[in-house]
Chains A and B, each alone.
Chain A
Amino acid sequence: MKALEVRSISKMFPGNLANDNISFSVEKGEIFAIVGENGAGKSTLMNIIYGIYTPSGGDLLVNEKEVKIRSVEDAIKLRMGMVHQEFMLIPRFTVTQNIVIGDEPHKGIFFDYGRAVREVRELSERVSLTVDATAVAGDLPVGVQQRIEILKVLRRGAQILIFDEPTAVLTPEETVDLFVTMRKLQAEGKTILFISHKLKEVMEIADRIAVLRRGKLQGIVNKKDTNEEELARMMVGRNVVLEIPKVDVEVGAVAFACHDLHVRNKRGYETVKGMSFDVRGGEIVGIAGVQGNGQDELVNAMIGFSHPVSGSMELNGKNMRLVTTAQLRKEGMSYITEDRARRGLVMPYTVRENAVMGQHLGRPFSKGIRMDYDKLAEFAEGKVREYDIRPGDVYDTAGSLSGGNQQKLILARELSLPHNFLIASQPTRGLDVGATEFVYHKLLEEKKAGKAILLISLELSEILGLSDRILVIFEGHIVGETTPDKTTEEALGLLMLGVGIDKKVQS
């Protein structure tokens, strides 16, 4: 039986056809994946199915009956549930409150919290998704927050579950847990729509895969009959080179060096406990490690957001321990951040403004207190062409761009600043294959140009593919140094977890 069928669905946004005549059907008990690049229209399509957006045209069928889904209430009545990409949680509320809102156990007008807690506990046991019913949601790790979201839709009796990029925020361990849960739900006869741009995951979990590109359905394939390369080609519309070419460059002088660096995090705990390393011109030094082992604090210290407690930090031979970000930038530091929304861009500002931020003071972009907006636009237009930033109107706000294009904009700005040292912190996080490939190319170009690059990444394939030297960090220490030809993903993975650390290499 077809649990869900989509017939010729289209959705127009002002100046943008987000979904163009999309049709497919999903069998009951199937895990059906929808893949596509950022901005291909996956989330739009899901929001239509779930009644948040109204389609501009087309029909929806649930259990082989034509339905009109005008609101989320309608979708819930049809036993659909959605686990959103950005969690729909209220951090201040308890787990129970979050799960029951909208369908609260009550006595008359009064909310029966005691019964709600009991119901949540029963449900959590029945589907074996463990949560603490009375904990405050905001205090819980992301993986648990996602469990709350799943419980929320299950409590409402959802038979069709939509997961919108559920792994984007999860650690690898949490992803494994999620997949176990999804299989369990499938075994119970639930139908699952899985939205993703991570091909490896799709190949692992899905039964069939639909590929979207720029709002159009490119095709539906069985997992058995396809592979990652084919999917990538369908998504991007051309051959994608997932392998990273080797580039050999003469290694130059030390650009950045730190010695016995100690940094505290915001709460005052020391999370970088004496790191020493250097980065030379023409080389990429990769930092591998599980998230939360000191990467964030190390980067914060390197970009001048926080000052190290002790140790030395030098850029081009100059002491940089207690300086501001502005001074570091002046000395030649550029910074690509994974946190595009909070650090990389000012979302309500236009592409034009974001492209010159940091070099907006002084000529050619300003004279005295007056900004020369024509110059800004001219510069930004050049960058938009050079980096192929879409849709390409420099008057669009940064927030309206897809993640990949936002990242290109950040690259365009950071690489156009005069620099010889580049910090790339998870530069491909949340990006699709096309944009990832672009970032890799740019990093290699930088290397060819003799820049010193520090790459921090959670993706081991990226670390192994790009780096000339690899530093493994664990609990604030550098626990190993190696090169890509001398190690494997497995060996790195073990080292990252602190297994078999040779005390001698600890610096």
Chain B
Amino acid sequence: MNITQINLTIAQMLDYTTPILFAALCGVLSESSGVVNIGLDGIMRFGAFFGLLGAFFSHSPWIGLLLGIAIGCLVGALHAFITIKWNGDQTVSGTAINVIATGLMTYLLEYVFSTTGYSPQLQNYFGAQAYRVHLPFLAKVPLLGAFSDLSVMIWFGFICTVLMHVLLYHTVLGLRIRTCGENPKAATTLGINVFRVRWFAVIAGAALAGIGGAALSISSFSGFSDSMPNGVGFIGLAAMIFGKWTPFGALGAALLFGTGQIVQSLIAVTGIAPKLAPGLTLILPYVLTLAVLAGFVSRSIAPAADGMPYYKEQR
């Protein structure tokens, strides 16, 4: 393998990492406030389809991205409405969102494009040359060369990680979000409106999941496929846990899972793959997810009130 190939491999790994990262960041924000969002896989599916829809009809991936964010917020608001306003079970609500996403996107795909399985391909998507961030001065540097020609979404993912870290650990709002996730009753006694903070965290988190979905359909790939997001949302949840509910931890974990994906692709090109049972290499990222969770979950501590509905007048 020469330098160019290595760079390409790293770039591709980052491409896989980005949707996982956005999913994990969604989880970090939402769960820091105390709301589990297991529906983020479904929200990604919404984001992936609507991202494509916007990009396809406007011929601009930016419009697609905005539509992805909008639908993420909308579905996030549904989750918030059920779990915060009505204290519905967070797992049930999230699962319902996943189920709705599966059925509704398949239906919409056939209804809008009269096709099954795959949407039409996009000419203008973030993976296309015109939308890449070119940093020619990096091209000659070994390893960093991979960063000379990346989709804008990948950079966006890194920026969001930093922003999330600043939000959670250096702003007043962040301190309050974490307070709501640790001890909502204490937050109330300090005059913090737990419900408002949680609404914000769930919706803003869901917007990130929407971006993550769009990153699949209009950045990593140039179209929507009916199998999206292929469990990326759940891998993102695993990355969140592995990353100890912190933004940079999530980034590290997402990179690890992204590497798992790329190893799978490498096996495919080395020619070993045909000797293995078909599909065996495809499960590699998921096996990695399981192994990591089994090995590390016990050492990772969730926010104390994570997943607990909050009743103000509970006795």
Residues on A close to B: CB < 8 A? 13, 50, 52-54, 71-73, 76, 82, 84, 88-93, 97, 101-104, 106, 109-111, 152, 400
Contacts and interface: CB of A to CB of B under 8 A. Distances in A.
Contact of A72 (B171, B172, B179, B190): B190
A68 to B, nearest CB: 16
Contacts of A90: 178-179, 182-183, 186, 304
Nearest to A109: B171
Contacts of A76: 191
B5 to A, nearest CB: 44
B183 A88 contact: yes
A97 B188 CA distance: 16
A107 B313 CA distance: 34
Interface in B169-201: 170-176, 178-179, 182-183, 185-192
Contacts, number: 69
Nearest to A400: B315
Which 10 residue pairs across A and B have the least CB separation, nearest first?
A102-B190, A88-B186, A73-B191, A90-B182, A104-B172, A72-B191, A88-B189, A109-B171, A106-B172, A111-B172
A340 to B, nearest CB: 16
Nearest to B175: A111
Contacts of A97: 175
Contacts of A109: 171-173
Contacts of A72: 188-191
A52 B189 contact: yes
Nearest to A86: B185
B275 interface: no
B299 interface: no
Interface residues of B, number: 23
Nearest to B181: A90
Contacts of B192: 101-102
Given A90-B182, A104-B175, A111 B189 contact: no
B306 to A, nearest CB: 12
Contacts of A54: 313
Contacts of B170: 110-111
Contact of A82 (B172, B189, B313): B189
Given A90-B179, A90-B182, A102 B173 contact: no
A418 to B, nearest CB: 36
A110 B174 CA distance: 9
Nearest to A87: B186
A232 to B, nearest CB: 26
Contacts of B172: 104, 106, 109-111
Contact of A88 (B175, B178, B190): B190
Contact of A71 (B175, B187, B191, B315): B191
A50 B176 CA distance: 20
A93 to B, nearest CB: 7
Given A13-B315, A90-B179, A90-B182, A101 B187 contact: yes
> Which of B178, B185, B186, B312: most chain A CB closer than 10 A?
B186
Given A93-B182, A111-B175, 13 more contacts: A52-B189, A73-B191, A76-B191, A90-B178, A90-B304, A92-B304, A101-B175, A101-B176, A101-B192, A104-B172, A109-B171, A110-B172, A111-B172
A166 to B, nearest CB: 15
A52 to B, nearest CB: 7
Contacts of B312: 52
A101 B173 CA distance: 10
Interface in B286-315: 304, 312-313, 315
A104 B192 CA distance: 12
A139 B23 CA distance: 33
Nearest to B173: A109
Interface in B247-282: none
Given A110-B171, A111-B170, A400-B315, A92 B191 contact: no
Contacts of A52: 188-189, 312-313
A92 B175 CA distance: 12
Given A52-B188, A82-B189, A84-B189, A92 B182 contact: yes
B185 A88 contact: yes
Nearest to A116: B175
B87 to A, nearest CB: 16
A148 to B, nearest CB: 11
A104 B312 CA distance: 23
Contacts of B188: 52, 72
Contacts of B187: 101-102
B14 to A, nearest CB: 30
11 contacts: A13-B315, A73-B191, A76-B191, A82-B189, A90-B304, A93-B178, A101-B179, A102-B190, A103-B190, A109-B171, A111-B174
A383 B314 CA distance: 28
Contacts of B173: 109
Nearest to B313: A53
Given A89-B186, A90-B182, A111-B174, A102 B191 contact: yes
Contacts of B183: 88-90
Nearest to A113: B170
Contacts of B315: 13, 400
Contacts of B189: 50, 52, 72, 82, 84, 88
Nearest to B189: A88
Interface in B13-30: none
Contacts of B176: 101-102
B174 to A, nearest CB: 7
Contacts of A102: 176, 187, 190-192
Contacts of A106: 171-172
B312 to A, nearest CB: 7
B200 to A, nearest CB: 13
Nearest to A53: B313
Nearest to B182: A90
A72 B186 CA distance: 11
Contacts of A13: 315
